[in-house]
Amino acid sequence: MKNRKGLDSVCKYSSVLMLLLLFAAPQFLFAQSYYPSWGSYIDMGTTLHKNEFIEQIVVDNTVSPEEIYIVGRSGSVTGSLEVCDSSIKSGNDDVIIAKFNHCGEIMWKKVFATQYISNGNVVVGKEMGFTIALDNYNGHKYIFIGGEIRNTDPSAKATVTCIEEESCNASVYQSPVGDNWDGFIAKYDTAGNLLRWVKLGGNKFNQGAPDNILAITVDPFTSELFVTGRAKSNNMGSNALTKFDSTFNSTANTGDCFIAKFDNCLSNLEFFSFYGGFLDDRGHDIVLDTSKGYSIPIISGTTESFNIQIDPPNLPDDYNSNSMHCNGAGVCIDAFLMKWDPVLTQGPQWFLYFGGNNTDRGRRLALDQKGNIFWTGWTQSSNMYKTGNAFDKTYGGGGDNDAYVAKVTLDGDIPWCTFYGGNAIDVSNGILWYQDPATLLKYVIVTGLTTSTNLSCTTCVQAPFLSDLNGPGNDGPNMDAFIAKLTDLPIGQKQKLDFFTLYGGTRMEDFDETESHGPFLDFGPNKEIYISLSTKSPDIGSVTKLTNVIGAYQAADKTTSDGFVGLIGLTNIQTCMPLRPEDEVAVSTLDFFSYPQPFHNELTLMIRAASAGTGRIEVVDFYGRTILVKEVQLEEGENQLPLDAGALTPGIYFAKAVFNNQMMITKMIRQ
């Protein structure tokens, strides 16, 4: 039933406000300064508070305002959980997935956990979520997460359909019979409902072999999923529809890197291939270049194997050898970068070793619109390859890690490559690329963790939010997140650092060195920066000078971590309308939008509600000033609420609908 109820006409603003709205908005969109905005703690515990590690963050910019999703793991969940309509006992670690609004408030948070029965006893799984991706498919939006399950049922192929989808009629993929440690992929809708999940794993000659998925991405042309990670099972992917290399290459207790492709319904393993040598190889990230009109997989990772290189066609003449690099003690660990053929069964087009006289590790990737690859990782090699135009040509780690950042073309040229670090440990994990729409200048932004006390920026116009490790006058323990913005300049021009800041509190911003890989970054709609990390600090808000902190540090003591999500904005003007305690919601069943967009004098707010009742509409301007607060009577189903907006001056406005302890926000543009 449709419900048409007029809202009161809103008050008229002065010509001064009109000018502010008209002239402030472009500055908001194209500003070069950054401002520490809100931060939000996440802890899954009620009576138990252990570690929360947040692995990745992804922002959905196809809705307005944007919505933010994170994946990671928690040791704080206790008791029984409802997972896929089954009662599951929580384990030592469980996957967490959560949705935030653009103000940092948690819209919902979910737990993915597994168990099975063995000889009448419940065996509780240990699940870790490492990666997340968003997709639009057949008019619907989905969230995919990947990771690993330990203590999983070795006798089951263990794939589950939880909710039937109209677009997915086929049953889910059946992995080869495995062992008790497999990779997994789970599919959710944006309301937090688990739709289906599958294992990807196997066993190694009928013995235990850990497998995991470390990165996932979605093909924008086909909505197919590409994943990479490490396989220790020789029969992983044996039932794929197509293959390149089905031979497991590693020996002893080592693994192979792999690449796999699934359809969007997780019904078919459409392609699978191992790629590696006799020692340990693992893929840490996979992205798809689409600049040629088709998808080209690019994989980053770490290798200990010799003689698997394939020379890029345009590798620089002064490159320090496309072969494995070792240190003086005979330890050989290199980062690698690999370009796969778009015809997947043709295998890789090139494979690049990257390293020097010590250990090097490949981590995350970003792409520009021309297919250039931006790559970051860690290095302990003082003679790592760097270019003459690099921002920093000197290794400063003193035996510990420096970050590296490199630009690599699709044919293997390296226009620039630089160290980034100080006098101690610097490890990077997240990377973004963008071009400023106002100046057309190009930038690369990286984030990671540091214990260096001498990081600074002499070329930056803007001062850092936080320049002293762990805050002024604090002696440690010394580890903070960092964010650094480097210029992406043409060959021959000297690269420079454009922005730098530390980000954290008086304790450690950290990660689990063996099983967690944060912090991470993603862009908002105007290239504002969203960051996710794990922290032992209860005071990030005051130390990093955030304007608002949602929630509080809940960990049991200073040795345990909580998750943290933050916004680094392009304006110090706050446009958020925080939820009141009674507005907090576990799962949204409210649909709210406005039309037409943009609008002139008349606007309709559309609310679809699951039940009838009294709701509240709030409208604020670009600066967060309240224009209208109105109670409305909603009926079950579709409610159309006309708004007389003729008195509004041109600009950006936000409307919030609150109903049944649920909230949604929509952006409105008055022309």
> At residue 26, does pLDDT exceed 70?
no
Task: Say if residues 96 and 108 touch (Cβ distance below 8 Å).
Answer: no
Of 390, 427, 406, the C-alpha closest to 352 is 406
Phi-psi region of 583 (alpha: psi -120 to 50; beta: other; left: phi over 0): alpha
Q: How far is CA 345 from the centre of its chain?
A: 29
Please enumerate in sequence order all residues whose Cβ is within 8 A of that of 388, keeping only pairs 6 or more positions apart, or say none: none
Q: How far is CA 503 from the centre of its chain?
A: 18
Rounded Cα gap, residues 190 and 105, in angstroms: 16
Which strand ranges, in their side-by-side order, compose the sheet holding 348-354? 281-289, 296-303, 334-340, 348-354
Task: Say if residues 662 and 585 touch (Cβ distance below 8 Å).
Answer: yes
Between 234-248, 320-334, 439-453, 569-583, the lowest mean confidence (pLDDT) is in 569-583
Output the CA angle 101-535-421, nearest 5 degrees. 105
CA-to-CA dists, residue 155 to 93, 117, 197, 202, 650, angstroms:
22, 11, 17, 10, 64
Tokens of 537: 């600090």
Between 171-180, 387-396, 479-488, 521-530, the lowest mean confidence (pLDDT) is in 171-180
Tokens of 243: 């293959």
Highest mean pLDDT pick, 149-153, 225-229, 511-515: 225-229
Rounded Cα gap, residues 346 and 515, in angstroms: 32
pLDDT for residue 207: 63
Where are any strands of DSSP class E within 101-238? 106-112, 115-118, 121-124, 126-137, 140-150, 160-161, 181-189, 194-200, 212-218, 225-231
CA-to-CA dists, residue 345 to 246, 270, 276, 342, angstroms:
11, 11, 16, 9
Tokens of 228: 């990479």
Tell me the per-residue pLDDT of 603-613, one tens digit each, with 9 for 90 and over: 899 888 888 99
Q: What does the domain layout of the chain look like in residue ranges? A: 3-27+587-670, 331-506
Q: For residue 94, what are the β-bridge partners?
A: 74
Rounded Cα gap, residues 136 and 591, in angstroms: 17
For tokens 């510990």, the residue is 400
Where are any strands of DSSP class E within 221-359? 225-231, 242-243, 256-262, 269-275, 281-289, 296-303, 334-340, 348-354
> At residue 15, does pLDDT exceed 90?
no
Tokens of 426: 């610097």
Between 1-10, 99-108, 275-284, 409-418, the lowest mean confidence (pLDDT) is in 1-10
- As a whole number, mean pLDDT of residues 573-593 equals 57
Rounded Cα gap, residues 642 and 6, in angstroms: 5
Rounded Cα gap, residues 263 and 555, in angstroms: 39
pLDDT for residue 81: 77
**Residue 28 pLDDT grade (very low, low, confident, very high; cuts 50, 70, 90):** very low
Q: For residue 274, what are the β-bridge partners?
A: 258
Q: What dotted CATH number matches 3-27+587-670?
A: 2.60.40.10
Tell me the per-residue pLDDT of 347-391, one tens digit each, with 9 for 90 and over: 999 999 999 999 999 999 999 989 999 999 999 999 999 999 999
Q: Note the pTM of the prediction, 2 decimals.
A: 0.82
Cis peptide before 519 (omega within 30 of 0): yes
Of 7, 134, 1, the C-alpha closest to 604 is 7
pLDDT for residue 205: 62
Task: Say if residues 542 and 557 touch (Cβ distance below 8 Å).
Answer: no
Tell me which amino acid residue 158 is: A
Of 566, 553, 584, 586, the C-alpha closest to 76 is 553
Tokens of 92: 């030592």
Task: Say if residues 644 and 23 touch (Cβ distance below 8 Å).
Answer: no
Rounded Cα gap, residues 412 and 53, in angstroms: 35
Cis peptide before 596 (omega within 30 of 0): yes
Between 230-244, 477-491, 616-630, the lowest mean confidence (pLDDT) is in 616-630
Rounded Cα gap, residues 212 and 401, in angstroms: 25
Percent of the chain with pLDDT over 90: 59
Task: Say if residues 508 and 543 touch (Cβ distance below 8 Å).
Answer: no
Dihedral of CA atoms 252, 258, 264, 267 in degrees, nearest 10, equals: -40
How buried is 185 (Cβ within 10 angstroms: 0-12 exposed, 13-18 middle, 19+ buried)? buried
Rounded Cα gap, residues 581 and 40, in angstroms: 15
Tokens of 641: 């609420």
- Residue 14 DSSP class: P
Dihedral of CA atoms 665, 666, 667, 671 in degrees, nearest 10, equals: -140
Task: Say if residues 651 and 21 touch (Cβ distance below 8 Å).
Answer: yes
Rounded Cα gap, residues 556 and 524, in angstroms: 33
> At residue 445, does pLDDT exceed 80?
yes
pLDDT for residue 58: 98
Percent of the chain with pLDDT over 70: 90
Cis peptide before 581 (omega within 30 of 0): no
Q: For residue 273, what are the β-bridge partners?
A: 259
- As a whole number, mean pLDDT of residues 237-258 equals 93
Tokens of 388: 């003459």
Of 550, 534, 516, the C-alpha closest to 479 is 534
Of 487, 437, 606, 339, the C-alpha closest to 26 is 437
Tokens of 319: 């490159």
Give first-to-last CA distance, the chain, whole Å: 31
The two beta strands, 242-243 and 269-275, are parallel
> At residue 156, does pLDDT exceed 90?
no
Buried b (16+ CB within 10 A) or exposed e, 349-375: bbbbbbbbbbbbbbbbbbbbeebbbbb
> Under DSSP, is residue 346 helix (H, G, I), strand (E, B) or coil?
helix
Tell me which amino acid residue 193 is: N
> At residue 63, does pLDDT exceed 70?
yes
Return phi, psi of residue 285, to 5°: -155, 150
Please enumerate in sequence order all residues whose Cβ is within 8 A of that of 139, keeping only pairs 6 or more positions apart, or say none: none
